[in-house]
C-alpha cells in the first residue's frame, strides 16, 4: 500500500496506490581470486534483473493545474557492474593496493508528464570510481597515502535531472582526493591513529548525496583493548 498524496515533482500531483506489489530483483554474480607470495587480486562481475520496480507514471488526469501521477509496478530493467582489487607486497614493509568499481543500469520509466514510456539510466547510479595507495608498516608503526577518485556522472534519468538539490544540472563532476593515514601500536592494549583527509582541500561531492564532502580534515583516534 502506498499512501502518499503530495506534490511529486514540478507540475505533478501524486495520488496514493493501495495495490502495489513487491519489487523483484534476481542477481547473478561470478568472481575470481588469485593469490601469490607477493601479490593477490580478486574481481567479480554481477548482473541483476529488475521486475516490477515501483515508479511514478502519469494517469492522464489533471488535478487543478498539475498532472496526476501515481506509483505502480512498471519499472522493468537491469543493473550490471564489476569490482576489482589488487595488492602487491614490495618488501617486508612496503606494499601497494588498488581498487576499481563500476555499475550501470536502465529501467522503463515515464520521463515526462505524457503517457509515453521510455528506457533511461537508473536513478543516482554511482560513476566509475577507484582507489590507489601505498602503505608502509612494521610491528609498531604504519603509514599510508591514498588517492580516491571518481569519474564524472552525467548519465542521468529525468528524475535525476529534476533533483537539482542533490545533483548539479549537468551532472556531478569527477574528483580525486589525497588522504594520509598513520598510526602506532602504543602497547598491546592501545593503538593511536591519525589521518589528514582531502589534503588539497578539494570541493567535491559523492554523486546523489546532496552535500559536498568536507575540506581538509584532521582526525585523531585512540583504540583501547581490554
CA distance 218 to 215: 10
- Degrees, nearest 5: CA angle 201-206-207: 140
pLDDT at 10: 55
- At residue 4, does pLDDT exceed 80? no
pLDDT at res. 19: 84
104/110 Cα distance (integer angstroms):
19
pLDDT score recorded for residue 11: 64
Asked if the model's pLDDT at residue 112 lies above 80, the reply is no
The average pLDDT across 135-142 equals: 93
Q: Are strands 39-63 and 94-109 parallel, antiparallel or unpaired?
A: unpaired
CA pseudo-torsion sign 55, 208, 122, 41: negative
Confidence of residue 163 (pLDDT cuts 50, 70, 90): confident
The radius of gyration of the chain's CA atoms, rounded to the nearest angstrom, is 23
Per-residue pLDDT band for 218 (boundaries 50, 70, 90) equals very high
Residue 117 has pLDDT above 90, yes or no: no
Mean pLDDT (the chain) is: 89
Residue among 24, 55, 57, 151 at smallest CA distance from 100: 151
Q: Write out pLDDT tens, residues 171-201.
A: 999 999 999 999 998 888 889 999 999 999 9
The distance of Cα 211 from the centroid of its chain, to the nearest Å, equals: 14
Task: Report the SS3 class of residue 159.
Answer: helix
Task: Say if CB 82 and CB 44 are below 8 A apart.
Answer: yes
How many Cα atoms sit within 13 Å of 6 on the Cβ side?
Answer: 5
Nearest CA among 148, 192, 140 for reference residue 174: 148
Q: Which three cell numbers stand for residue 2?
A: 502506498
Per-residue pLDDT averaged across 49-66, rounded?
84
H/E run at residue 161: helix 158-162
CA atoms within 13 A on the CB side of 35: 1
Q: Which residues contact 93 (CB under 8 A, 6 or more apart)?
A: 136, 137, 138
pLDDT value of position 6: 57
Listed in sequence order, the residues at least 6 apart from 113 whose beta carbon sits closer than 8 Å to its beta carbon are 11, 12, 58, 67, 69
Quote the pLDDT of residue 20: 86
Highest mean pLDDT among 18-22, 41-45, 218-222: 41-45
> From CA 223, how far away is CA 143, in angstroms rounded?
17
C-alpha cell at 192: 593511536
Pairing of β 12-15 and β 66-89: parallel
pLDDT band at residue 162 under the 50/70/90 scheme: confident
With a cut of 60, say whether residue 8 has pLDDT above it. Answer: no
153-176 average pLDDT score: 90
Report whether pLDDT(1) > 50.
no
Amino acid at each position: 500500500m502506498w499512501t502518499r498524496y503530495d506534490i511529486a515533482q514540478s507540475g505533478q500531483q501524486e495520488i496514493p496506490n493501495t495495490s502495489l506489489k513487491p519489487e523483484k530483483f534476481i542477481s547473478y554474480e561470478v568472481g575470481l581470486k588469485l593469490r601469490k607470495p607477493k601479490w593477490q587480486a580478486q574481481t567479480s562481475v554481477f548482473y541483476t534483473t529488475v521486475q516490477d520496480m515501483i515508479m511514478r507514471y502519469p494517469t492522464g488526469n489533471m488535478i487543478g493545474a498539475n498532472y496526476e501521477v501515481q506509483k505502480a509496478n512498471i519499472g522493468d530493467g537491469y543493473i550490471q557492474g564489476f569490482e576489482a582489487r589488487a595488492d602487491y607486497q614490495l618488501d617486508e614493509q612496503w606494499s601497494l593496493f588498488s581498487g576499481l568499481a563500476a555499475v550501470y543500469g536502465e529501467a522503463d520509466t515515464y520521463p515526462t508528464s505524457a503517457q509515453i514510456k521510455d528506457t533511461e539510466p537508473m536513478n543516482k547510479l554511482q560513476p566509475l570510481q577507484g582507489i590507489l595507495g601505498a602503505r608502509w608498516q612494521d610491528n609498531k608503526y604504519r603509514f599510508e597515502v591514498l588517492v580516491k577518485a571518481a569519474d564524472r556522472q552525467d548519465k542521468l534519468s529525468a528524475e535525476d535531472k529534476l533533483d537539482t538539490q542533490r545533483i548539479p544540472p549537468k551532472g556531478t563532476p569527477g574528483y580525486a582526493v589525497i588522504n594520509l593515514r598513520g598510526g602506532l601500536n602504543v602497547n598491546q592494549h592501545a593503538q593511536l591513529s591519525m589521518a589528514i583527509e582531502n589534503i588539497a582541500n578539494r570541493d567535491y561531492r559523492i554523486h546523489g548525496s546532496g552535500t559536498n564532502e568536507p575540506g581538509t580534515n584532521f582526525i585523531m583516534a585512540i583504540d583501547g583493548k581490554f
